[in-house]
Amino acid sequence: MSFAETPEGFRSGFLSFVGRPNTGKSTLTNALVGQKIAITADQPETTRHPIRGIVHREDAQIVVVDTPGLHRPRTLLGERLNAAVKDTYADVDVIALTIPANEKIGPGDRWILENVRAVAPRTPIVGVVTKIDAASKDQVGAQLLALHELLGPDSDVVPVSAADGLQLDVLTKVVTTYLPEGPKLYPDDHVTDDDRDTRIAELIREAALSGLKDELPHSVAVEVDEILPNEEREGVLDVHAIVYVERPGQKDIIMGYKGRRMGRIIHNSRREIMELLGQNIYLDLRIKVLKNWQSDPKALGRLGF
């Protein structure tokens, strides 16, 4: 079937995951799409821009919009991320609230639900209990009941494990019932509408975040400067990118003892970028201090926020 042809009863539309940071939204997005399109890290607020991934089914096409976690902002960046998230919620066909199976529902979850209902009062909300592989059956059962109670008696609630692939098909079937009938929005071979440079920058940031603690992860941003064919080696691309931090001391942390941490960042991200591009690359990575960029409107604009 070509992109232009649509079978009778075919459904297509947009799904957005919402939840506290680290509830498994990006991991779930990658599992549904079947390819890594969103980076994951142990730190909260890893996702910084809405990422669209396309789930292809015989009867439907679901465009999953993975958004930054809605949070109480401390910086201008945080305010802009929240604004982008709320714009996304207002435009999607269905919202999925993610709650881990092994963490009790708390004030943060209720705060997020209230905010979502305020900006998208008519959008249906599906409950998703994530990380069921990390919880007992009793914990999962209790969480399903608690989430059902939070969302209301008529809500659909689905337990899933993105890590083990459990119940993902059930989730896509449930989501499909909420989508309008309509044609395919993307060709069959499309997995994301993120551009190449953005995906590369995110892979570098993911490698840079590994092992970082406290506030430093929020201070890290990555920009791809240019990508050029290597003049001496055929089939090799030179990727020039910059890691930005906010203070000189943070630059030292990223570099690590005798530059070893920087070496690991280059090694790990280069491997991921080669997999993405399907060819050999040389990664030229530099670090620059962009003072307090999270609260500087000019710097945020330069970095695409």
Start-end of H helices in 120-255? 137-151, 168-178, 196-209, 216-219, 248-255
Residue 23 annotated as binding site:
yes
Strands 94-100 and 125-130: parallel
**Using CA atoms, how far apart are residues 133 and 27, in angstroms rounded to an integer?**
13
Q: What angle do CA 192, 196, 71 make, to 5 degrees?
A: 65
On whether the CB atoms of residues 78 and 70 are closer than 8 A, the answer is: no
CA distance 88 to 95: 10
20 is in an annotated binding site: yes
Q: Annotated binding residue at 210?
A: no
Q: Is 25 annotated as a binding residue?
A: yes
Gap between the Cα atoms of 188 and 184, Å rounded: 9
Residue 227 exposure: Cα atoms within 13 Å on the Cβ side: 17
Question: 22 among the known binding-site residues?
Answer: yes
Judge whether 15 and 97 are in contact, CB under 8 Å: no
Is residue 175 a contact partner of residue 32, using CB atoms and an 8 Å limit?
no
Is 248 marked as a binding-site residue? no
Return d(Cα 277, Cα 283) in angstroms, integer: 13
Q: Which of 65, 51, 29, 77 is nearest to 198 (CA)?
A: 51
Flag whether 53 is marked binding.
Answer: no
Residue 86 annotated as binding site: no
70 in a labelled binding site:
yes
- Sign of dihedral through CA atoms 238, 242, 248, 249? negative
Q: Is 132 annotated as a binding residue?
A: yes
Q: What's the one-letter identity of residue 256?
A: G
- Establish whether 13 is an annotated binding residue: no
CA distance 246 to 239: 23
The response to whether 130 counts as a known ligand-binding position is yes
| 98 belongs to an annotated ligand binding site | no
Q: Show binding-site residues.
A: 19-26, 66-70, 130-133
Q: Show binding-site residues for GTP.
A: 19-26, 66-70, 130-133
